[in-house]
Amino acid sequence: MKFNRRNFLKIGAAAGAALAATGKPVSAMELSPGGKSVNKQGVERKKVPYTCMTCNIEDGGIAYVENDRIVKLEGNPKHPGNRGRLCAKGNAGLLHVYDPERVLYPLKRVGKRGEGKWKRISWEEGLNEVAGKIRAHLKSGKPRKEIAFKWGRNRTHGFIDRWMNALGSPTTMNHTSVCESSKKMGMQPTWGPDIETPDFANTKYIINFGSNILEAAYFHNPYAQRIMDGVAGNKAKMVTFDVRLSNTAAKSDEWHPVFPGTDGVVALAMANVIMSEGLYDAQFINDWVNVSADELKAHLAQYTPEMAENYSGVKAEDIVRIAREFATAKPATTYTYRGPCKHLYGSYNERSAMLLPIITGNIERKGGYCLPRGMGWNGVSPSPEHPHEHSKLHQPDNYPLAGHHVSHHIAFQLLKGEEKVAIWMDYYDNPAYTFPSSHVWEKVYQDEKIIPYFVTFSPIISETSQYADIILPDVSYLERNDPENMPSDLLPWISLRQPVIKPLGESMEFRETIRQLALKIDPDGSLNIKKYFDYGSSENYMKMHFDGVAGLKELGGYEWLKKNGVYPDYGDLSPADYKYYKGGKAVEPEYGLHMKEDANGKVTVGGKKRAGFGTPSGKIEVKTDFYGKAGFNPMPVFKAHPWHWSGGKKILKYGQMVLTTFKWNVHTQARTANVKLLTEIVHKNPAWINSKTAAKLGIKDNDLVRITSGVGHMVTRANVTESIHPDVVAVSTACGHTAGGRFAQAMNNAKADAWARDDDPDLKNIWWNDKGVHPNAIIPVCTDPIGGSQGWFDAVVTVEKAKSGDKYGDVVASVEKAVAFYEETLTYNVAGKNHKKMHPELANAPQAEPVKVVSRGDYREFDPVQLA
């Protein structure tokens, strides 16, 4: 083209005429009334409290804001969970807000699904389109359950249920089965709540089964502080059982590398030692456990330390020693996370680990294993009823105890046509990256026959949202409202997540988007939807939650919470001991909640009725009818994985190992990948292989290796190390992204052809070319038939030196093979052919009653009683 002044003037003249003719304002900006001259100097810096949500710990923060721009995030010292400290992810949180790869406008797909072609549309157009589709479906008389909603992280506390219940669809799908659902389903029938709050700060002994609590598990930021208080301040001993020398294991007094999935048998053997040597707390068992000490002794006798050594590799003498130490340390606590529970029969493992604090009477004691404390808020009225229709996507057949559902089966169920979907909504979710056999999800999302219409509320274009038909972009966690509560400390709290700035660009808070959709779907209220969304604004909705909370109300309710972020105010945090002080006295938690007098209590101890535990008997139910009636062993037992063991013998062949994954302290599964400060710290994930194993296989450090599962293979590099069990290969999550942004994909300037932008000065600082390799596609589905969890740490793989033609980063996975694993895992459910084979001890037990599957809403509503 020719560019010269003559052209400029000609085109400029024509442009003037064109702009005038098209009605574009020739007078560009408006002159403010009076031609106001403003000179802002010395900008005010505001402090706005919020609740972090980079991960799910829900710590309290303070945002420092200038000119509606966040300049710094800090921990909120008034928050009893994190006591003024944020982790690295929390500190880097503002980069989520200002990421130029964030979606700031509604986008509509143009071209094929996943092709990456979008056009910007107005909110009006976007909302009309989605509302129109939903309204048409509702009016069509087709089953309402064809309207589906899948979430990955839901901190709305019931809002998604409100939405789906109002639409009359039971097809709400969560993510908990890829998280710790079998831990929850081990705990809930045993003592009521689905989680524990160990009093690490005051303990003398910690047994940690399979949690990397200093880095990544629930509630790592608060608990890392308390563990350090306990270990450094209280001289507590910490013993970690983990397949990998995590940073937690490394900071423990002892690390015992266990064979995957055998923590449970180690715990059972320890319990056996404690019972048989008379080291148990007879009084506690007598008062509070629903089986007697003798019954326990008889049951546990089968789990000898030698048997546990055979499976776990932990020496019998160590098992005996640690059992004795634990039982006599007083107070002592255990802690578990995904290590024991993310296996076939992981729920049994969790129940086995729980035995240790129970039989030693360390429950609800200072320094012991305590019930979670919580505080609530008011519900928002009116509230729609849960629909009566049943969706197998919400709750599949033959998983009667999987109260937190079996979300990782959904893609397979859809492929098999178990349920039909008309409209699919996706929120804070990325199964095409985070789920096992993630390629199957990709296939499902691509198929317009399976998912005819796909709406996402995602603020990023991820491995999943790239397949959406329309994006109605949500805000970041620093621009939204939620009520919050987590048992991250023994001092209970509620907190507020509030927008610390206005939503950026045209992004809209999900709660507001749904409100507007609802009002468009049902403008006159005739569909009975409008009334549930007539609350005005998200802020009003929060007001309804908080204004009536006793205690808070007197202080000023929601307005007080907006200023302070967290309730109650426990006083001033002392930098000397990190305790709260009020009137010169340290604020101490309350212990012995089960012992509180309660006229309605089911258990009488010391002649008085006590509050007890949230079980049918009010006692700790080491023997649980919930399991028994559903066809499982009512006692804590160990089941060796048939992929790993046969007749007590390990059956791994030459080159075979168990693949495990793990998380880093600077990353969540997927959402932090484009946060440059974090990705600079961790961006690649070589496979950890034990040095002796590697030597046998001729693999050297940094060699290219091929890891092959029954689903497919991946090619990565070897990290040859002493820090891993010899039968295990470990590959971290959070790396190997194929979407999500430049930092997520290590797109530096050297790759300018593929990614021409060079705007961010930090792109020059991408000194790495390696973005890692994501293992999830090759991980087969393997489901705990009790709690419904994915057995993330069960896959048997062959590790070998890379073959000719293999390239770093190759991931090849077969949908057919993944489906075959799904079919296999169904054979372990209560109706499957392997169920009885795995439970020979129940051959003479009464036939399990047919279990009624109850369609439930939010997982918090889970009440095992419904299953009775």
Residues that bind ligand SF4 (CB under 6 A): 52, 54-55, 57-59, 82, 86-87, 89-90, 220-221
| Sign of the torsion angle spanned by Cα atoms 148, 861, 193, 381 | positive
Q: Which is nearer to ligand SF4, 493 or 533 (CB)?
A: 493
Among 18, 282, 695, 845, binds other proteins (CB under 8 A): 18
| Sign of the torsion angle spanned by Cα atoms 663, 664, 665, 668 | negative
| DSSP symbol at 549 | -
* Rounded Cα gap, residues 812 and 172, in angstroms: 31
Q: Which does 758 bind (CB under 5 to 8 A by kind): ligand SF4, other proteins, none?
A: other proteins
**CB 740, min distance to other proteins, A:** 8
Q: Which does 120 bind (CB under 5 to 8 A by kind): ligand SF4, other proteins, none?
A: other proteins
| Position closest to ligand SF4 via CB | 90
700 is a site residue for other proteins (CB under 8 A): no
* Rounded Cα gap, residues 472 and 503, in angstroms: 13
**CB 461, min distance to other proteins, A:** 5
608 is a site residue for other proteins (CB under 8 A): no
Q: Which is nearer to other proteins, 104 or 415 (CB)?
A: 104
Among 86, 406, 460, 766, binds other proteins (CB under 8 A): 460
* Rounded Cα gap, residues 51 and 546, in angstroms: 15
Per the listing, tokens 């085109």 go with 11
**CB 241, min distance to ligand SF4, A:** 23
Q: Which is nearer to ligand SF4, 197 or 221 (CB)?
A: 221
Per the listing, tokens 């710094």 go with 72
Confirm if 862 and 856 have CB atoms less than 8 A apart. yes
10 is a site residue for other proteins (CB under 8 A): yes
**CB 71, min distance to other proteins, A:** 9
Q: Which is nearer to ligand SF4, 88 or 635 (CB)?
A: 88
Q: Which does 221 bind (CB under 5 to 8 A by kind): other proteins, ligand SF4, none?
A: ligand SF4
39 is a site residue for other proteins (CB under 8 A): yes
Could you tell me which of 257, 310, 356 has the C-alpha nearest to residue 692?
Answer: 257
Q: Which is nearer to other proteins, 298 or 752 (CB)?
A: 752
301 is a site residue for other proteins (CB under 8 A): no
* Rounded Cα gap, residues 796 and 684, in angstroms: 22
Bin 469: left if φ > 0, else alpha if -120 < ψ < 50, else beta.
alpha
**CB 12, min distance to ligand SF4, A:** 52
Total residues at interface with other proteins (CB under 8 A): 73
Site string for other proteins, 503-542 (x = CB under 8 A): -xxx------------------------------------
Confirm if 707 and 797 have CB atoms less than 8 A apart. yes
Distance of CA 321 to the CA centre of its chain: 35
Distance of CA 73 to the CA centre of its chain: 23
**CB 751, min distance to other proteins, A:** 13
**CB 478, min distance to ligand SF4, A:** 11
Cis peptide leading into 382, omega within 30 of 0? Answer: yes
Among 45, 139, 596, 757, binds other proteins (CB under 8 A): 757
122, containing H or E segment:
none
804 is a site residue for other proteins (CB under 8 A): no
| DSSP symbol at 732 | E
Among 2, 235, 388, 807, binds other proteins (CB under 8 A): 2
Most distant pair of Cα atoms in the chain: their distance: 102
9 is a site residue for other proteins (CB under 8 A): yes
Joined tokens for residue 135: 């309204």
- The three-class DSSP label of residue 296 is helix
| DSSP symbol at 46 | E
DSSP letter for each residue of 691-711: HHHHHHHT--TT-EEEEE-SS
5 is a site residue for other proteins (CB under 8 A): yes
Could you tell me which of 264, 178, 175, 267 has the C-alpha nearest to residue 791?
Answer: 178
- Measured CA to CA in angstroms, residue 690 lies from 657, 778, 845 at distances of 11, 21, 43
Confirm if 643 and 797 have CB atoms less than 8 A apart. no
Q: Which is nearer to other proteins, 612 or 741 (CB)?
A: 741
| Cα-based angle 561, 565, 569 (whole degrees, multiple of 5) | 80
Q: Which is nearer to other proteins, 33 or 698 (CB)?
A: 33
Q: Which is nearer to ligand SF4, 310 or 498 (CB)?
A: 498
475 is a site residue for other proteins (CB under 8 A): no
| Sign of the torsion angle spanned by Cα atoms 389, 392, 395, 400 | positive
Find the binding residues for other proteins in span 79-138 (CB under 8 A). Answer: 95, 97-105, 107, 110-111, 116-120
Give the binding range for other proteins (CB under 8 A) out of 5-13, 348-356, 652-660, 860-868. 5-13
Would you mind telling me the total number of residues written for the chain in this entry?
Answer: 868
Q: Which does 460 bind (CB under 5 to 8 A by kind): other proteins, ligand SF4, none?
A: other proteins
554 is a site residue for other proteins (CB under 8 A): no
**CB 453, min distance to other proteins, A:** 19
| DSSP symbol at 192 | S
In this structure, the strands spanning 470-471 and 107-109 are antiparallel
**CB 599, min distance to ligand SF4, A:** 39
26 is a site residue for other proteins (CB under 8 A): yes
